[in-house]
Chain A
Amino acid sequence: DTAVSQTPKYLVTQMGNDKSIKCEQNLGHDTMYWYKQDSKKFLKIMFSYNNKELIINETVPNRFSPKSPDKAHLNLHINSLELGDSAVYFCASSHLGGGQFFGPGTRLTVL
């Protein structure tokens, strides 16, 4: 069974469109995260949710809106996509302060 899953794996879209990425974890963790990995492989946290409540919101444009319907899911919705949004987005989960388990990533390409 996959511990942290993300869909879709690849996402190619036009500038200005709105898209969503879904994430689910079956590890029973109470904290979930979204990260962005740029072309230089630098991994930066975007959001962190603990028990469905937003804990961290780093300097991310408000076009990005996370939604956590329950502790096992954290989805990422992006409005008005821009060229600079092209990257690999990773979902992760952990117990608070513990080692993180990452999903396989979603490669977003904005044309």
Chain B
Amino acid sequence: TQLLEQSPQFLSIQEGENLTVYCNSSSVFSSLQWYRQEPGEGPVLLVTVVTGGEVKKLKRLTFQFGDARKDSSLHITAAQPGDTGLYLCAGYGGGANNLFFGTGTRLTVIP
């Protein structure tokens, strides 16, 4: 099992603030994905990053894959209450079918 540690575990911020969530591992991943999960629902894919150093933007969300493909970050600009949810990073390693999920970051954006 390849462990992906996310930090912080919990984050509560005011609407309009910026935040960064980190996903770290000692293992190399062929690709890394970010998901958001809302209560009572399944995770929803936000982005996949494949190349070391890659940066992808999705409106106010910016995702970066580390140069060594062992870590990733998610930055949210001007957070909104609709951003509230559980954010999960996940990486493929040890085979194309082995998707390992991170420990999760629970974000609450207060109006």
Contacts and interface: CB of A to CB of B under 8 A. Distances in A.
| A pairs with B | yes
Contacts of B48: 98-99
Interface stretch (B18-26, B52-60, B68-76, B96-104): B96-104
A96 B96 contact: yes
B45 interface: yes
B41 A104 contact: yes
A42 B97 contact: no
A31 B97 contact: yes
Interface secondary structure of B, over-half rule: strand
B44 A45 contact: no
Interface secondary structure of A, over-half rule: strand
A90 B42 contact: yes
B97 A41 contact: no
B33 interface: yes
A97 B104 contact: no
Contacts of A4: 42
Contacts of A97: 30-31, 92, 96-97
Contacts of B88: 43
A27 interface: no
Contacts of B82: none
Interface stretch (A11-19, A48-56, A63-71, A79-87): A48-56
Interface of B: 30-31, 33, 37, 40-45, 48, 86, 88, 90, 92, 95-101, 103-104, 106
Interface of A: 4, 31, 33, 35, 41-45, 48, 50, 55-56, 90, 92, 96-105
- Which are the 3 A-B pairs with shortest beta-carbon distances? A102-B42, A97-B96, A99-B45
14 contacts: A31-B97, A41-B106, A45-B101, A48-B97, A48-B98, A50-B97, A55-B97, A96-B96, A97-B30, A97-B96, A99-B48, A100-B33, A100-B43, A100-B90
